Amino acid sequence: MDKAKAVENYILHHVTNNYQEWHLPFGIHVPFSGPMSLHAAMLLICSLGMILLFCVIYEKNLRVPTGITNLLEVMIIFVRDEICVTSFGQEDGRKMAPLFCTFFFFILGLNLMGLIPLFSTATANVNVTGGLAFITLMVMIFGAIYKNGLIGFVKAFIPHGVPFPVLIILVPIEFAGMFIKAFALMIRLFANMLAGHIVIFSLLGLIVIIGYVAALPAVVLALVIYILEILVAFLQAYIFTLLSAMFVGMIHHPAH
């Protein structure tokens, strides 16, 4: 039981609560205090990485993209055509593409960074996913007001052809649903990224609890989950971007 408790404390410390210190090789520890935490540092590093990737490495003037430029263009076109245009239509979809491409690449970068042993998974922090979901909520509200006007924004919560007595119940539910959608975005990304890391640490913890007998199966299973986490990193970035585009598109174009 003491070993199990030690493993539990280790997992809680290194997966859920270890925001204030960055553990580097050779016993180097970088402390964080005030508004800056380890996950805030991950956000900063990912942002700088995106600037380097798209402003320096990406060669936008190539007539025939190759290498990393070709890979990035494939992903950008996919987000633009399969997510934005599908949710907003051709004209608005192209206008909204920069926002949702930023969502996709930023979340993907944070997810993949969490798979590097020296880094931490910022998207396993509910404050980070809450901030991303809050941006979606603001685009839903103020984007709809900008596009349709305040009256048009209010009308989006009033379904056509519904009797007035039913509207008394339905309109508040529709309005609350806008916030529930943003909350679901926050929890979905946070829970999926946190769960995978807990599973990996738990499998490796079996070696401590059971002994070296469990070493081979535990390491193999942890490796399989680790590889699966790479797929999850892409999948969760896609799902967050897709759902955000759908939610924003629904309130920007209520008639559809």
Residue 157 main-chain phi, psi, to 5 deg: -95, 5
Q: Is 46:66 a contact under the CB 8 Å cutoff?
A: no
Cα of first residue to Cα of last residue in the chain, in angstroms, is: 58
In angstroms, rounded to a whole number, what is the distance separating the alpha carbons of residues 94 and 52? 24
SS3 209: helix
**Residues of the chain scoring pLDDT < 70:** 1, 3-29, 33-34, 254-256
SS3 121: coil
pLDDT in tens, 102-137: 999 999 999 999 888 778 888 988 889 999 999 999
Which residue bears the tokens 């995978």? 196
Q: Which residues contact 69 (CB under 8 A, 6 or more apart)?
A: 57, 58, 59, 60, 62
Q: Is 195:126 a contact under the CB 8 Å cutoff?
A: no
Which residue bears the tokens 């209520």? 254
pLDDT in tens, 194-216: 888 778 777 777 777 777 777 78
User: What does the pLDDT read at residue 224?
Assistant: 86
Nearest to 180 by CA among 188, 169, 192: 188
User: What does the pLDDT read at residue 167?
Assistant: 82
Q: Which residues contact 156 (CB under 8 A, 6 or more apart)?
A: 144, 148, 251, 254
High-pLDDT (> 70) share of the chain, %: 86
**For 19, which DSSP code?**
-
CA-angle at 141, arms to 137 and 144, nearest 5°: 130
Nearest to 59 by CA among 67, 51, 49: 67
> Where in the chain does DSSP place strands (E)?
21-24, 28-31
The pTM for the full model equals 0.87
In angstroms, rounded to a whole number, what is the distance separating the alpha carbons of residues 6 and 10? 6
User: What does the pLDDT read at residue 233?
Assistant: 92
**For 25, which DSSP code?**
G
Half-sphere exposure of 21 (CA within 13 A, CB side): 9
Other C-beta atoms lying within 10 Å of the C-beta of residue 205: 20
User: What does the pLDDT read at residue 220?
Assistant: 86
In angstroms, rounded to a whole number, what is the distance separating the alpha carbons of residues 238 and 251? 20
Nearest to 140 by CA among 84, 182, 91, 88: 182
Which tokens in the block code for residue 216?
Answer: 């081979």
